[in-house]
Structure 1
């Protein structure tokens, strides 16, 4: 008998055994009176196949967000989710690189060192402790914020020791010297690698030109000059100030009652240093428009086109989000992708987006193209932006974008991890508790004229800061638009 036939007969035999077992179970189960059966709560039907969706968009979860403040001043957002016996905890501190001051990279290095040592435990013991409990620790630092997260089962035998270890990590990091030296070396190696990435070099240059002396100007990673100078005492001081209980938003989602959630966040908040929230970041000054080129021996040229956008609480956020989805933020089908890639084959991908932060974040368009076509491609993108700001979206573009957003938006709350991320962002940027529902209502109510007005109000095609990185070569004219453009060279794009 062949292996294939043997496997087939084996599976048939297994299926027969399972069927017999089910028949025996049904035959021997106790009878349930009709009135009792009717009184039993009906179980929700489970999705057995994606075909059952029948083209319907997933339903947005109706979140009942509860909020309070701990005794130490931490802001809490909690959603009870009993569907799975686990919880997701996310702490968002106003401790990003915008708080570095004169020591670039301080915030990132502090965050990276949190789980490198606590009293009585080194990095190996910490990792083994979380792993033995089936728990996951995460951390990261960005321009606005630094985060620390925990995922664990909610059973007390897993939850309680996981929380104790997490509380030590966020509240009592020892910043051991050997770990500090190791991480510094890793970062220095990363800086060397950046020198070989034209996209990274262009990004660093763009933020410096866009933000000048503002805290957003420098990279969250610091520099090859600043990182070696940072000492353990500076990390301790920054932790004591920026990781204070008054400077954190605690987001919690999981299989917990309100009383259990209150006890959990009280334990976490109490483990943090005592202190108030740090001051908000000031708004940046308008940059000087203009173009700058970085000569780099690559096959393609990286183009970054930007200007200051909005902060996260701007009332035009919904209109700008929708308007950008149509212009260049929604992938295939956007104006940029249609005109630059589909009709002319000038790039693998071209994208635009608003990065709304505590202070005004950038609006940016980025792409790669053949070096000899870079100037023409840049002019094409600028013309497309100018035309879009002047004419706004068509009704068809607006309807398509609304429909796409209505279908994809439920994914933003499709998992506990997604919800806890939304809660952390809402708390950090002081958004209302009904923000998720109100946002989609705002989007669906927008008219083409409102989108056009908002985009034209916040963007100016004559105020662009442009950075390109690639070889200096003789330029060629762009090919005319066609239904069958020439294919771009194979390669992984950098954005």
Structure 2
């Protein structure tokens, strides 16, 4: 079918999407169940059939994020992701090599897209394509080459490394970057979650390192594949088979679980790091290690943090720091759970001469919230906001895909989202308070202040 006709078909379907989303918002996941199976090569697959639009979104994840980087080569996983779009070698099926310009033109001709990126836990490859059979087959084959046959050109890597090193040096001139790096180092110590790529660590990465990392971690048996779109199970299996066809399929013994990364150590004591910096605003971060994503307290902590500082202008911290005292335009808090205990952080910016007062107010509000929990009114408002906004979490295929990836990555139940609103509604003030007290120790948190006036201490 010509592309022009396909796009007209998409436009016609798109007119119905808002009505469908409005009518089915509360029951979307009952109508779109998640199917899950394991392929013969060991790849695990999660599928949501979403037939309204003739498109498909796919994400292929590997346990190969930045936490797998050697400390001396921080940035290695991100480099593998970056270089996957910079060219492919001659294909195992006789295809010619392609450089980055060839790849860009090929994806443009297909009307499809392919991206890669490394986060702290995972290395992910994402494909979006129309489901017209010929286009999807060609897109899957091209994606498979980038997944399994990257060229890892030394010349291209030297160019990209120089660009990245320049970007790092520029970022290090910003107070926000300085604050985040100091905070992560203080919270995580030597754990990989606290590592950042530097000009020096990038210099130690060569193309042989990229090939070795790719061979070790990117194997078909280690893939977790999430699919949302207008494909059935048979089509999904064929798509997965193509996407992973250029990756090695080792013997079962070679696909044993990867070594565990050391746990994030709790903080033994409080500490404050003051970093002089000539800036109009002081940047303040307060926090500690938090919890893993699959922790049973997750929803209680999500709701609790929404009340504390994650709910924008309705949050407790905003009321205390901004509304009552005018010490900061914005103040926020967040948990960042992962496969291991990500950080809990409170952040704000304020005038350097107000940093001490803003910090004292923030600490007091945080300690009081952990000790007492929210009020009934605060909890009701948070539930209304979160439950009322639930439909917005699943109103597009991309958002559906993100939720499926979350379920796949953290081994959550397949019906996790079906019961999400009920579980949020069931939470009590006592539940929130107990969860916060189990996870947070305000008396042992670290504080980083970048740009406060000398001698300005709380």
User: Do Structure 1 and Structure 2 share a fold, with TM-score over 0.5?
Assistant: yes
1:87 aligns with 2:65: no
The aligned counterpart of 2:259 is 279
1:148 aligns with 2:118: no
- 1:233-382 aligned at under 5 Å gives the runs 233-275=208-250, 276=255, 277-287=257-267, 288-382=269-363
The CA deviation at 1:473 is 4.3
- Measure, in 2, the Cα distance between the counterparts of 1:49 and 1:83: 12
Higher-Rg member (1/2): 1
- Measure, in 2, the Cα distance between the counterparts of 1:248 and 1:346: 48
Note if contact 2:44-2:223 (Cα within 8 Å) is conserved in structure 1: yes
Note if contact 2:85-2:146 (Cα within 8 Å) is conserved in structure 1: yes
Note if contact 1:60-1:409 (Cα within 8 Å) is conserved in structure 2: no
Question: Which of 70, 83, 97 pairs up with 2:39?
Answer: 70
- Measure, in 2, the Cα distance between the counterparts of 1:255 and 1:46: 15
Q: Do the aligned partners of residues 380 and 324 (structure 1) sit closer, same or farther apart at CA in structure 2, a change above 3 Å counting?
A: same
- Measure, in 1, the Cα distance between the counterparts of 2:172 and 2:38: 45
Note if contact 1:299-1:471 (Cα within 8 Å) is conserved in structure 2: no
- 1:320-469 aligned at under 5 Å gives the runs 320-469=301-450
The CA deviation at 1:346 is 1.4
The aligned counterpart of 2:173 is 196
Q: Do the aligned partners of residues 467 and 159 (structure 1) sit closer, same or farther apart at CA in structure 2, a change above 3 Å counting?
A: same
The aligned counterpart of 1:116 is 86
Match of 1:59, SS? helix
Task: Provide the aligned C-alpha RMSD in A.
Answer: 2.2
- Identify unmatched segments of 5+ residues in structure 1: 1-42, 478-495
The CA deviation at 1:242 is 1.4
Note if contact 2:276-2:454 (Cα within 8 Å) is conserved in structure 1: no
The CA deviation at 1:79 is 0.5
The CA deviation at 1:60 is 5.0
Note if contact 1:60-1:413 (Cα within 8 Å) is conserved in structure 2: no
Q: Do the aligned partners of residues 438 and 59 (structure 1) sit closer, same or farther apart at CA in structure 2, a change above 3 Å counting?
A: closer
Q: Do the aligned partners of residues 140 and 339 (structure 1) sit closer, same or farther apart at CA in structure 2, a change above 3 Å counting?
A: same
Match of 1:437, SS? helix
Q: Do the aligned partners of residues 47 and 185 (structure 1) sit closer, same or farther apart at CA in structure 2, a change above 3 Å counting?
A: closer
Note if contact 1:372-1:474 (Cα within 8 Å) is conserved in structure 2: no
Q: TM-score, normalised by structure 2?
A: 0.90
The aligned counterpart of 2:93 is none
The CA deviation at 1:86 is 0.7
The aligned counterpart of 2:138 is 161
Note if contact 1:280-1:358 (Cα within 8 Å) is conserved in structure 2: no
After TM superposition, the structure 1 stretch with the greater mean CA deviation from structure 2, 339-348 or 466-475, is 466-475
- Measure, in 1, the Cα distance between the counterparts of 2:288 and 2:221: 33
- CA deviation vs aligned residue, 1:15-62 (integer Å, no higher than 9, x gap): xxxxxxxxxxxxxxxxxxxxxxxxxxxx9x958899x97xx9943522
Q: Do the aligned partners of residues 259 and 57 (structure 1) sit closer, same or farther apart at CA in structure 2, a change above 3 Å counting?
A: closer
Match of 1:61, SS? helix
- Measure, in 2, the Cα distance between the counterparts of 1:118 and 1:57: 43
Match of 2:356, SS? helix
The aligned counterpart of 1:59 is 26
- Identify unmatched segments of 5+ residues in structure 2: 1-12, 90-96
The aligned counterpart of 2:453 is 472
Aligned length: 430
Note if contact 1:307-1:465 (Cα within 8 Å) is conserved in structure 2: yes
The aligned counterpart of 2:201 is 226
Match of 2:42, SS? coil
- Give the ranges of 4+ consecutive aligned residues of structure 1 lying more than 3 Å apart after TM superposition: 45-50, 56-60, 473-477
- CA deviation vs aligned residue, 1:366-385 (integer Å, no higher than 9, x gap): 11001000011001000001
- Measure, in 2, the Cα distance between the counterparts of 1:431 and 1:350: 31
Q: Do the aligned partners of residues 60 and 278 (structure 1) sit closer, same or farther apart at CA in structure 2, a change above 3 Å counting?
A: farther
The CA deviation at 1:184 is 0.3
Note if contact 1:92-1:250 (Cα within 8 Å) is conserved in structure 2: yes
Q: TM-score, normalised by structure 1?
A: 0.83
- CA deviation vs aligned residue, 1:189-236 (integer Å, no higher than 9, x gap): 1111122111111111111111112111202xx111110121000000
